[in-house]
Structure 1
Amino acid sequence: MHAAPANGIIDMHCHTAGIGAGNSGCFISPAMRKSWRYRVFLKAFWVTEEQLLQEGDALVMRRISERLAASQRVTAAVILAMDGAVDGNGELDRSSTEIYIPNDFVAAETAKHPNLLFGASVNPLRHDALTRLEQAAADGAVLVKWLPSIQHFDPADEHLVPFYLKLKELRLPLLTHTGTEHSFTMTRNELGDPERLRLPLSLGVKVIAAHCGSCGRNEGESNYHRFLRLIDEFPNCYGDISALTQINRKWHLARLLKKGVSGQLLYGTDMPLPNTVTVTPYAFPIKLSPRRMVELSRIANPWDQDVALKEALGVPEQVFSNANTVLRLPVPTP
């Protein structure tokens, strides 16, 4: 575990990847590896499959740390583990899991880099889920990440109450995907309904709705409006603005900022997506002048460009610092 970042912005939503190289324990399903997304993501992480096979999956986090260290604006990034689906015995079900990035791998590798923080992931249906939560906290986790639509559980399930109470006891916020999921080949998108988060919110868990329910619908209503209802009702409900500058979501950020909920929004990138063609300043000709779009496009560091783009689109300064009070950051050493 390392000290909390001193000053600067924390990217609280940054992914990593792995294929099992270097005994990482990671794996990607055969279907996902055949998908066009696989090569795009590897390139966006500044690696090739051949390099991973030669140097191990830890190379991805090393590359992230190196690029992040060159940023003038962002000090640290939360690297997210990703638990898989589980079977009826509460054990990992590889046949139903598209991507698996274990906690111990991410915890060990982030500890080697002062600008990386550990984001744990625990499927609450695991038979030893509470023990895994305690271990994640002991290893310095700053949050717990869920993607229910590919991990195949319902956040509204009353059987998860002990898990939620343990999160609250450990002061671990829950970052969970809301809205339709586009990055995987096998999803149950009804499980990304923001309304399914009422249970943990009512128990006092800090819940961060990734992407603010910015796409898709449930029960005839947009996930975005279902998210807004929660953020109005619960002061412990937050949203992260990662992915909201992607081409397919480009209208969501402006309407969200008009709602005056900046105190409950957190900055994130959804890296590596800002490193792909899905995010470009040229997608905002109504908001930005041609000159400003060119200026932003010339910012080489992806984190610096992401911050500058969101600032240009009107994201208030407060949003870039909210993570410092919401995440379970390590106590600074004297």
Structure 2
Amino acid sequence: MTDFPIIDMHCHTAGIGAGGSGCFVSPGLQRSWKYRIYLRAFGITQAELLREGDGLIPRRLSRTLAGSRRVAAAVVLAMDGVVDERGELERGQTEIYIPNEFIAAAVRCHPNLLFGASVNPCRGDALERLERVHAEGAVLVKWLPSIQHIDPADRRLVPFYRRLRELELPLLTHTGEESSFTRSRDELGDPERLRLPLQEGVTVIAAHAASNGRNGGEPNHRRFLRLCAEFPNLHADISALTQVNRLGQLSRLLKYEELHGRLLYGTDMPLITTGITSPWFHAYRLPPPTLARILAEKNPWDRDVLLKEALGVPAEVFGNTAKLLRPLLR
């Protein structure tokens, strides 16, 4: 057991603009088969969203999380969009948009949800937005560079990085390939592009530990490990590492015991409620009684914890998120 509560640091929500949320999903993504899977994963229908508003998803997340015996809270992530040359939101290039205001309001209603902000640093007022989300209680800033068209290695972002460091806000940024959307600039998920914020002293969290894809002629996870050896301020979350398309990647990462203090618990909710994370995919590694116990667990967060414990994730890792975020928890 860990001395710190278990916090899921990688939990998604979504919205279609219902109830004046300001959220939107692009027409292209709504036409994709992926959109229907995401609705099903959240356990809602579009008709329900239209009737009850986008706040329905955070409410259900909070209610399900309240039923967990193991996980105390979850960081729910906003998602900024693509920005044009004028530093303004480019709606036509943005596949999903979840404004900070929507998430900040949701977490005020649900004490077991924490505010994960998202600010595209290319916005004309990026620094002002950063100050605002910090004042509203954000515990981190989330990027998905390959979708938001952010180059973390762009030196024009140095003032943004320096303010992140001063505010002690961690930067959670996707690393590796991205397959949840209809298009992706995967070169922007190259962990090597994180060298600049790391040099500026930002606490950087590589989402999914760069566990898939290649850049520069080598696997992204090797590029991530090399950076870890250079920068003690580089962390990683273990979300998505039990998915069927990432089999073996969690055990590979756990072999580096020197990194256990920098690995953070996350789920990539709602993907843990879909078939791609079924414990059956790990049956070859689990004793039948253990597999049966995991399969019998109905709460998705508790089932995820049980599976990751069975796959060798040490107790320390489950408490690391709370330890890292402790200065920002209010």
**TM-score band w.r.t. shorter chain:** over 0.9
Shift of 1:43: 1.3
- Please list every run of 5 or more consecutive structure 1 residues that lacks an aligned counterpart in the other structure: 1-5
Provide the residue aligned with 1:283 in structure 2. Answer: 281
CA offsets per residue over residues 228-271 of structure 1, 9 Å max, x none? 11112111000000000000002100011011110010000000
Shift of 1:7: 5.5
CA offsets per residue over residues 144-186 of structure 1, 9 Å max, x none? 0000000012100000000000100111000000000010001
| Contact 2:69–2:302 (8 Å) recurs in 1 | yes
Amino acid at match of 1:25: G
Matches within 5 A, 1:1-334: 8-260=5-257, 261-327=259-325, 329-330=327-328
Shift of 1:290: 2.6
Amino acid at match of 1:248: N
Aligned-partner SS, 2:193: helix
Aligned-partner SS, 1:204: coil
More displaced stretch, 213-222 vs 281-290: 281-290
Amino acid at match of 1:85: V
Aligned length: 327
**CA RMSD across the alignment:** 1.1
Provide the residue aligned with 1:3 in structure 2. Answer: none
Hey, what's the Cα distance between the residues in 2 that align with 1:226 and 1:192? 11
Amino acid at match of 2:166: E
Shift of 1:286: 2.8
Amino acid at match of 2:233: N
By percentage of residues, which structure has more helix? 2
Hey, what's the Cα distance between the residues in 1 that align with 2:208 and 2:84? 28
CA offsets per residue over residues 64-119 of structure 1, 9 Å max, x none? 00000000000000000000001110000001000000001100111110100000
| Contact 1:296–1:309 (8 Å) recurs in 2 | yes
Hey, what's the Cα distance between the residues in 1 that align with 2:324 and 2:4? 15
Amino acid at match of 2:268: D
| TM-score, normalising length: structure 2 | 0.97
| Contact 2:23–2:99 (8 Å) recurs in 1 | yes
CA offsets per residue over residues 193-249 of structure 1, 9 Å max, x none? 000000000111000000000110001100011111111211100000000000000
Quickly say closer, same or farther: Cα 1:164–1:330, change in 2 above 3 A.
closer
Hey, what's the Cα distance between the residues in 2 that align with 1:93 and 1:221? 33
CA offsets per residue over residues 293-322 of structure 1, 9 Å max, x none? 222111000000000000000001010111
Amino acid at match of 1:222: P
Hey, what's the Cα distance between the residues in 2 that align with 1:330 and 1:172? 8
| Contact 2:5–2:322 (8 Å) recurs in 1 | no
Aligned-partner SS, 2:84: coil
Hey, what's the Cα distance between the residues in 2 that align with 1:37 and 1:327? 32
Hey, what's the Cα distance between the residues in 2 that align with 1:256 and 1:286? 19
Hey, what's the Cα distance between the residues in 1 that align with 2:317 and 2:235? 11
List structure 1 segments (4+ residues) > 6 angstroms apart after TM superposition: none
Hey, what's the Cα distance between the residues in 2 that align with 1:329 and 1:28? 34
Identity of counterpart residues, as a percentage?
63
